[in-house]
Structure 1
């Protein structure tokens, strides 16, 4: 999805949701913000650092859990965290201490020696989040982090993310599940067809409606689908 004129602002310490229909440009936007996809123009700054002119400083202060998560699958969960820590330049002893705590909090201690390739979707999301948190980033970017995750794993992820923002750090996650965003976020940006169409505190964007109702109004939801499909469910001739 091509995006244009995106003016995304997220206050420090927010639990922020980037919402929009499938194909609205959420993943493209997050990929540009995190330095994975170079934009044709514009300015991207995280905590005062330019993403494209100062990438080393930026990447030292952000954590990323992308959509279509790619991990080193022939490593065990613990090995993955130790390797991630070494890549970040964290001393081995400190990396081990942090890995132990993350594995415990993510409820992965019993699976820490299991190869990542054998992890379930929920386990992969949890170990991916652990790797993204290992270096204690100031800003965490998550692209559809709860997609395909079972309720127990989702609850674990939510608890960790809430603790993270309560410490003053920032979470930005994309989703098209309005109920989840409404439950978790204090800031929301609504995206449609490559543009930000509304942005601000959740209560302000939502108004007197539910977030889902506000979202449907903002993105121009289609009709109810009453037209057509007159044959569907009919007991008549199937031909």
Structure 2
């Protein structure tokens, strides 16, 4: 990445404490524009907290987050215009249909009525939700909720997507649809940051990866550099210090 090109997402010394617990300990990352960036780590490592601070959902105690050079907290409107977010546990208005939801959110984003309607229709078709466009969101399956959540993140035409566990509890068919859409977005010049526990998925999709452990960056960079000649799963286990030899099941289940 040239030094004069702003990172798609830059985290500079982000820190967050909840009471005595340090959830994020001065995390610094730089996501190159046009990259597919994976964020992995054990449960409780600080991934969701880091992403929440990165997109303006949670104010950091220390540090800064910038989207294409725009500070998320100094210029929240400018930063949020450039990023689409699928947060963990996304809450949606459940008494609207998918089309009503997208049209409504498009209008809130400042799109005119015709543009909001056109984008809603196109997203519903691409994500294979057009057959359920009159179904209320409350009746959506988990996979359908993930897809409509992704649609809300892309509706305003952002240059960066930040997605927290977009494939969690998603059926294989819906996962293929989401993967195809994200690959198309990156191929068109967009940037994606996603967190996931599935190492094989990150290896298949991402060209950069960061491993977060105990609120700190254990490793970050191009995928092949972080893997260092091994699978991402083996490298991950090494970085977080897990001892697989000591892992065992309950004694009463042993034969």
| TM-score (norm. length: structure 2) | 0.89
Per-residue Cα deviation, 1:70-96 (whole angstroms, up to 9, x for no partner): 101010000000011001000110111
Per-residue Cα deviation, 1:83-140 (whole angstroms, up to 9, x for no partner): 1100100011011111111000000111011100000000000011011101110110
Select which of 107, 114, 118 maps to 1:97. Answer: 118
Superposed displacement of residue 224, structure 1? 2.6
Residue in 1 aligned with 2:164?
143
Write the mapping of 1:74-223 to structure 2, written as runs, cut at 5 A: 74-223=95-244
Identify which of structures 1 and 2 has the higher relative contact order when contacts are C-alpha pairs closer than 8 Å and 6+ apart.
Answer: 1
| Alignment pair present for 1:66 and 2:87 | yes
What runs of 5+ residues in structure 2 fail to find an aligned partner?
1-21
Alpha-carbon distance in structure 1 between the residues aligned to 2:193 and 2:63: 20
Alpha-carbon distance in structure 2 between the residues aligned to 1:99 and 1:227: 49
Q: Give the match's secondary structure for 1:209.
A: coil
Residue in 2 aligned with 1:237?
none
What runs of 5+ residues in structure 1 fail to find an aligned partner?
235-239
Superposed displacement of residue 41, structure 1? 1.1
| TM-score (norm. length: structure 1) | 0.95
Q: 1:19 to 1:226 in 2, by over 3 A?
A: closer
In the alignment, is the contact (CA less than 8 A) between 2:26 and 2:62 conserved in 1?
no
In the alignment, is the contact (CA less than 8 A) between 2:37 and 2:206 conserved in 1?
yes
| Alignment pair present for 1:33 and 2:68 | no
Alpha-carbon distance in structure 2 between the residues aligned to 1:74 and 1:55: 29
Give me the CA root mean square deviation: 1.3
Alpha-carbon distance in structure 1 between the residues aligned to 2:247 and 2:129: 47
Superposed displacement of residue 68, structure 1? 0.8
Report how many aligned residue pairs link the two structures.
234
Alpha-carbon distance in structure 1 between the residues aligned to 2:113 and 2:166: 28
Q: Give the match's secondary structure for 1:135.
A: coil
Q: Which has the larger radius of gyration?
A: 1
Superposed displacement of residue 175, structure 1? 0.8
